[in-house]
């Protein structure tokens, strides 16, 4: 059975209001931003969180093996009728083993 690498991206939105004492609007926004980065609003934001967007992207994982002798790269192909890729399994078995090729 083939394997897939699935990327999951979920965007959330959250809304929270806070009363902040400050000398002007810029200072109030700065204080709110500092409070956010210090996780002071974490519980409130999490309670008001709602899913805004989501996406899923699956890509088949195709194994590849490099032959230590000829340096050719073989790709895993689960189809039995593919004569081009006959070297994948033996090269994979060799690469997974503890065997070593000695050259004089």
Q: Are 74 and 85 in contact (CB under 8 A)?
A: yes
Q: Which residues of the chain have pLDDT under 70?
A: 77-85
Quick one: pLDDT at residue 87?
A: 75
Spatial separation of the C-alpha atoms in residues 12 and 92, rounded to whole Å: 43
Q: Which two tokens stand for residue 26?
A: 């810029």
Q: What percent of the chain has pLDDT over 70?
A: 90
Distances in Å between the Cα of 97 and the Cα atoms of 94, 100, 101 are 5, 9, 11
Q: Taking the model in full, what pTM does it have? A: 0.47
What digits encode the pLDDT tens for the residues 75-86? Answer: 776 555 555 567
């Amino acid at each position: 059975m083939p394997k897939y690498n699935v990327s999951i991206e979920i965007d959330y939105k959250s809304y929270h209001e806070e009363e902040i004492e400050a000398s002007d609007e810029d200072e109030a926004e700065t204080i709110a931003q500092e409070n956010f980065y210090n996780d002071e609003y974490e519980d409130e934001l999490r309670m008001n969180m709602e899913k805004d967007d989501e996406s899923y992207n699956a890509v088949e994982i195709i194994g590849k093996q490099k032959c230590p002798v000829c340096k050719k790269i073989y790709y895993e192909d689960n189809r039995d009728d593919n004569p081009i890729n006959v070297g994948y399994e033996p090269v994979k078995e060799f690469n997974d083993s503890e065997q070593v090729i000695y050259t004089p």
